Structure 1
Amino acid sequence: MRHNQLATYFVIFLMCFTSSVFSQSKKQKELEERRQELQREIRQINDLLFKNQSQKKSQTSLIEDLSYKVNVRKNLIKVTNQQANLLTREINANQKKISELRDELTTLKENYAKMILRSYKSKSEQSRIMFLLSSSNFKQAYKRIQYMTQYSKFQKEQGEAIKVKTSELQKSNKELLRQKDDKQKLIAENRVAQKELEGELNQQQSLMASINQNLSKYRNQIKEKQKEADRIDKEIEKMIREAIASSNKKAGKSSNTSSFALTPEDKALASSFVANKGKLPWPVEKGVVKVRYGKQPSPIDRTITIQSNGVRIATEKNADVRAVYKGKVLRVQAIRHGNVLVMIQHGNYITNYTNLSKVFVNPGDMVDTKQVIGKVFTNPSNGETTLKFSIWKEINTQNPADWIFQM
């Protein structure tokens, strides 16, 4: 009875321990994937925003780029710290497991040694045949045979248990060494990242000191930039309203509505577009998001709020612009200070690609996912190649990060 209870407690402990280790391993895998993503993002930032230092960027662009890089670097350090802390917990749990395994192994070996000794003494004092012959009846003799068989079986099981525990202990020791090695590598990487962050923060402070000498000038620049972005957004909304009115007029519906009159084919396309939410490809093959969707403080002056109805993606020079999903080209339009805009309709959803230097499609064309529709414009004065990308559901903007894969 006592043996069965101990076995039950051990199984429960093993199940709890295995569940805890699995949970930690899953979390460790998630953190490692996030760390790899952030490292890739930093490499892209260096390649796309800081590689060509010969071009003269404005102070505002430099501080924007540097602030972005600092934030990503801080996130990388934070995730690496989380990994190291989780490894510390795993190491402590493993050390506890090793200590318990050693104690169990010692107990098993001691019990096994006592069992062998008893068996040897029993054999020397009295042979098995005499033990059986001394039985008072057949039933007792049968029970003695069963006892000897079970005892022999139990001996073998104890021997096998010792082998299993020894193997488990060796495996745990090996795992412990790997965990300690991984932790040291993470600590070393974080030291390097911390040093790079310090350099970037010093550079950021130096730039901000220069900007603060004439802050009112930069505030005005930010406000003018925001006005220009708002103007382009209003122009896009006006084009969408015109497209809705035209579409509804053809369908014999009221032109004063803010919703498309969709054909069965349009509805199917819209459903397909929604079904791929979060899985759509990037509109450029290589890029980093400099300005995200929604309200956010300006990196120059955090008292000023920036409103972005899409994302601003920095990419490489002469980069191709790709349709993020199949659809119909609704509009190709030159915009003041925004170069050329391409608008693609996916049922009642519209994707907008602004700041193109070349366009390879025309209104009415049907395009496929990842089809090249143009080239991103590169500003000759500062070398910046930036695509403005937005998603609309009729006249309402959407957050592109919810739609584009890993944005």
Structure 2
Amino acid sequence: MIKSRFYIVIILLFFSCFSVVSQTRKQLELQRKQLKKEIQQVNKLLFKEKKKEQNALDDLKDINKKIDIRNKLISTINLEASLLSKEIKKNKKKQVVLNKKLTDLKTDYADMILKSYKSKSQQSRTMFLLSSQNFYQAYKRLEYMKQYTSFRKKQGEEIVVQTDLVQKLNDSLLYKKREKDTLILSEKDEKLIIESDRKNQEKLLSTIKKKESRYKRDLKKKISEERKVASKIDKIIRDAIAKANRKARARLKIKPKSTKKNEFILSPEAKALAAKFELNKGKLPWPVKEGLVVRKFGKQRHPTFPGITVNGTGLHIVTSKAINAQAIFNGVVLNVLVNSGGRKNVLIQHGNYISSYNNLEKSFVKKGEQVKTGQKIGAIFTDKISGKTKLIFVLFKNTTRLNPSSWILKR
């Protein structure tokens, strides 16, 4: 009985260890699937369209992203394979324990059958009962025979259970070994693809080095233009706040000194909308159905020229052709701006929050229009040279830019 309990404790410990490892491996499996999905998106959104004109800097950035994701995938595969190895090792130890228990059970059962057989050959059950000195002894002997028969039956059932456990464990080990072999093969395939990508990366770096001064000049010009556009948008928002607040002050008879500069004076309805917007932080939908972030929010060193800093005013999201920009929350169209190239930027106000959808070819909404969450607000522009369809998504609280990644759903 003590021996049986000892085995049960050992098995429970093994199973508890296995569940912790399994949980971690499930997370890695999900991460691996997510990275594979991301690689498919990279290939679809950044490499599917044949570019009419080569831009080595842009191409290098794309291939760097591809390599980076594949490296993450290889790292995840290695971790997953490592955990599988540990699981297989633990399962083998568990198999030894179970096999030992099964052998002990079979030996005990065989001894019991042998004793039972000898007992039957020496005297029958009836004689065993009739030879009792009194009724109480006969009753006790009868109970003993019942318990003995029951114990034999339980041992037989336990042997069946343990045999089944050992078989399932053997099947599990075989499956895990196959799973590990598949992961190792997958890792080899990914490494071969990275090797090919690295060759292309080296070619692009060589091209850039030959014309480095030209690329730097063009890049600085582009950064300067982005700054000017951002400043214009900032001014437009400040002007819109000032205009809205003048009307609000006149309506509510509020003195200018009692309100903060560059902050919306909110009506009770607008306050409620802003509060709902805040409650949905981290749960807001993406401004596109599918997309890949190619530039993050905030200041970041340029991947090719470390001396140059790029400022991400929001998220640059590459998506598929014919995918429209959609509102991330209920609100009212604050403005529809048009740049020198004819591309549009829709600004939607959600209380004292503003979401900006820039680089649109067409706008489906107009100033002052009420919009709903998920409503299509414009067709995103597709660059004929690069073949990319890119939305620039920016988020404000009054005039302060926010990191949209903290507000929209994680993908």
TM-score scaled by length of structure 2: 0.92
Following superposition of structure 1 onto structure 2, how do residues 258-407 of structure 1 map, counting pairs within 5 Å? Answer: 258-336=262-340, 339-407=343-411
**Cα deviation 1:169-206 (Å, max 9, x = unaligned):** 11111111111111111111111111111111111111
| Whole-angstrom CA distance in 2 between matches of 1:246 and 1:143 | 101
Compute the displacement of 1:150 (Å): 1.6
1:80 counterpart (67, 77, 81): 77
1:245 and 1:10 map into 2 onto residues whose CA distance is 77
Distance in 1, matches of 2:238 and 2:310, equals: 25
Letter in 1 for 2:30: E
Structure 1 position 310, deviation (Å): 0.8
1:140 shift after superposition: 3.2
Which among 194, 201, 204 is matched to residue 204 of structure 1? 201
Match of 2:244 in 1: 247
| Cα deviation digits, residues 155-176 of structure 1 (max 9, x gap) | 1111111000111111111111
Q: In structure 2, what is the equivalent of residue 185 of structure 1?
A: 182
- The aligned counterpart of 1:141 is 138
Equivalents in 2 of 1:130, 1:359: separation in Å?
102
What is the distance in 2 between the residues matched to 1:104 and 1:199?
53
Q: Aligned-pair distance for 1:336?
A: 4.3
* AA at the equivalent of 2:299: K
Post-superposition offset of 1:338:
8.4
What residue in structure 1 maps to residue 94 of structure 2? 97
2:154 pairs with 1:157: yes
Query: Are 2:43 and 1:46 aligned?
Result: yes
Q: How big is the alpha-carbon RMSD for the aligned residues of Structure 1 and Structure 2?
A: 2.1
Q: Is the 8 A contact 2:11 2:94 kept in 1?
A: no
Q: How far apart, in 2, do the equivalents of 1:190 and 1:41 lie?
A: 16
1:11: Cα distance to partner? 3.6
Shift of 1:21: 2.0
**Residue type of the alignment partner of 2:61:** E
Distance 1:396 1:251 in 2: 21
Q: Distance in 1 between matches of 2:372 and 2:227?
A: 30
3-state SS, counterpart of residue 195 of structure 2? helix
**Which blocks of at least 5 consecutive residues in structure 1 are unaligned?**
none
Instruction: Describe the shift of the 1:242–1:16 C-alpha distance in structure 2 as closer, same or farther (beyond 3 A).
Output: farther
| 1:343 CA displacement | 0.7
Q: Pick the aligned partner of 1:37 from 34, 41, 44.
A: 34
**2:226 is aligned with what amino acid?**
A
Deviates more, 1:275-284 or 1:368-377: 275-284
How many residue pairs get aligned? The number is: 404
How big is the shift at 1:386?
Answer: 1.4
- The amino acid of 2:53's aligned partner reads K
- What is the DSSP-based 3-state SS (H/G/I as helix, E as strand, rest coil) of the residue aligned with 1:286? coil
C-alpha spacing 1:267/1:144, structure 2 compared with 1 (3 Å) = farther
Q: How far is 1:365 from its partner?
A: 0.7
Q: Deviations over 1:193-228 (max 9, x none)?
A: 111111111111111122122323323333333222
Deviation at 1:54, TM superposition (A): 4.3
What is the percent sequence identity of the aligned residues? 42
CA contact (8 A) 1:338 1:355 kept: no
Q: Which blocks of at least 5 consecutive residues in structure 2 are unaligned?
A: none
Could you list the structure 1 runs, at least 4 aligned residues long, displaced by more than 6 angstroms after superposition.
Answer: none
SS of match in other structure, 2:378: strand
Separation of aligned partners in 2, 1:133 and 1:298? 100
| CA distance 1:304–1:6, shift in 2 (3 Å) | farther
Within the alignment, does 1:65 sit opposite 2:69 as a pair? no
The 1:302/1:16 distance shift into structure 2, 3 A limit, reads farther
* SS, match of residue 48 in structure 2: coil
SS of 2:374 mapped into structure 1: coil
Distance 2:212 2:201 in 1: 15
Q: Is the 8 A contact 1:105 1:166 kept in 2?
A: yes
Change in CA separation of 1:211 and 1:273 when aligned onto 2, cut-off 3 Å: same
Indicate the residue corresponding to 2:106 in structure 1.
Answer: 109
Residues 51 and 387 in structure 2, CA contact (< 8 A), matched pair in contact too: no
Residues in 2 aligned to 1:337 and 1:67: alpha-carbon distance in whole angstroms: 29
Q: Supply the distance in 2 between the matched residues of 1:109 and 1:338 (Cα, whole angstroms).
A: 85
> Which shifted more, 261-270 or 105-114?
261-270
Q: Which moved more, 1:195-204 or 1:16-25?
A: 16-25
Is the contact made by 1:63 and 1:299 (CA closer than 8 Å) also made in structure 2? no
Q: Distance in 2 between matches of 1:206 and 1:121?
A: 87
Shift in Å, 1:129 = 2.8
1:153, distance to aligned residue in structure 2 (A): 1.2
